[in-house]
Amino acid sequence: MTTTRHRVAARMIAALGALSLLAACSGNGGGGSGGDASSYPDQNITIVVPFSAGGPTDTVTRMIAEPMAAKLGGKIVVQNVEGAGGTVGAGEVSQADPDGYTVLMHHIGMSTAPALYKNLDYKPLEDFKMVGLVTEVPMTVVARKDFAPATLQDLVAHVKANADKVTLANAGIGAASHLCGLLFQTAAGVKLQEVPYQGTGPALTDLVGGQVDFMCDQTTNTSGQIAAGKVKAYAVTTPERVKSLPDLPTTAEAGLSQLQVSVWHGLYVPADTPDEIVQKLSEALKVALADQGVIDQMAKLGTAPVPAEDATPQAHRAKLEEQLGTWAKIIADAGVTVS
């Protein structure tokens, strides 16, 4: 993990703290019971995306699906199972046959849901094996293009003065957009009316259409609309500017240094999936992340694959453990729960 990521995590804690408002093969619990590893795969693999088609999680998944399938020698189908900030899709995969044919792509929301949902029907560390990390995506603060505020500072002043009118879109409680929105509200010291969607794909469509005022969303979803001038972009939520959006200031440059978050993604399988199958998936993930086409597509959308050593069950589990602890504290301090 880089120093930058540590810095980002530290700043996230600092920001929300102020409001008093995320298995290794060997560590995954052993061999498991499903699936024949030697012939794997001999049928289609489904990767479940727990958000809408066309959104950022979906985009990253579709980018890696083809090169992964080529390495595995099979076909990968992407299925969107939306709802409740990604918890419906994650819950479904936790109950799936542990045979390697149902895989989950999830993001930072895997680490926040246990603290947010009192009745969550899965336990991230116990009900899944981790396959590997995928990418860590910056977010942008974006608004409908005719929204009055011109800069991030103006946006803060505007939402404070119009808190009862301004609408903040997100992809449901525990989604990355929801977390970033919480950070924004904390940093700005304001409570806004939130409008939840099944993913930021449809949320961005409504933002472009002017039905909601603003939101945080990943560069993998917003880059095209920013470049086309269809939304107004205020800042990127990472310590450094994003190469593909060179004119966009960082939140720190724009005067809101507490608003720092980037969205890590990983692949999961049900906990009893055999380690040999997890290993095959992890190897395929590494190949996909080294694919020049994937690297280029990600770069255009403001992100990059994780280094090969992070596309492993071990690194993924360590990240999840660390992030679960981090977010439990932030969310407890924030006092946000859903029944």
Strand stretches in the chain, DSSP E: 45-49, 76-80, 102-107, 128-144, 167-170, 193-196, 214-218, 231-236, 262-270
Among 195-203, 253-261, 314-322, 327-335, which window interacts with ligand ASP (CB under 6 A)?
A: 195-203
Choose which of 9, 21, 45, 171 interacts with ligand ASP (CB under 6 A): 171
Nearest CA to 32 out of 100, 86, 84 is that of 100
Nearest CA to 195 out of 205, 186, 187 is that of 205
| Signed CA dihedral, 287, 123, 27, 8: sign only | positive
Closest separation in Å from C-beta 334 to ligand ASP: 17
| Token pair 């102020």 in the structure block, residue | 18
210, 144 Cβ separation under 8 angstroms: yes
Give the containing element (helix H, strand E) for 73: none
- Decide if residue 138 touches ligand ASP (CB under 6 A): no
The contact mask relative to ligand ASP for 12-51 (x = CB under 6 A, - = no) is ---------------------------------------x
Closest separation in Å from C-beta 39 to ligand ASP: 33
Among 113-121, 199-207, 254-262, 278-286, which window interacts with ligand ASP (CB under 6 A)?
A: 199-207
Within 260-319, which residues bind ligand ASP (CB under 6 A)? none
The contact mask relative to ligand ASP for 49-78 (x = CB under 6 A, - = no) is --xx--xxx---------------------
Using CB positions, name the residue nearest to ligand ASP: 55
Nearest to ligand ASP of 56, 100 (CB atom) = 56
If DSSP codes are grouped into helix, strand and coil, which group holds residue 65? helix
- Per-residue DSSP letters for 1-51? --HHHHHHHHHHHHHHHTTT----TTTSSSS-S-S-TTT--SS-EEEEESS
Choose which of 12, 84, 141, 176 interacts with ligand ASP (CB under 6 A): 176
- Decide if residue 111 touches ligand ASP (CB under 6 A): no
Nearest to ligand ASP of 59, 314 (CB atom) = 59
5, 138 Cβ separation under 8 angstroms: no
Closest separation in Å from C-beta 45 to ligand ASP: 20
H-state helical runs in 117-199: 124-127, 152-161, 176-188
| Token pair 């083809």 in the structure block, residue | 66
- Decide if residue 199 touches ligand ASP (CB under 6 A): yes
Size of the site for ligand ASP (CB under 6 A): 14
Among 95-103, 115-123, 194-202, 289-297, which window interacts with ligand ASP (CB under 6 A)?
A: 194-202
In the structure encoding, which two tokens stand for residue 254, read together? 């724009």
Closest separation in Å from C-beta 214 to ligand ASP: 14
- Decide if residue 201 touches ligand ASP (CB under 6 A): yes
Nearest CA to 209 out of 163, 139, 155, 147 is that of 147
Binding site for ligand ASP (CB under 6 A): 51-52, 55-57, 107, 109, 171, 175-177, 199-201
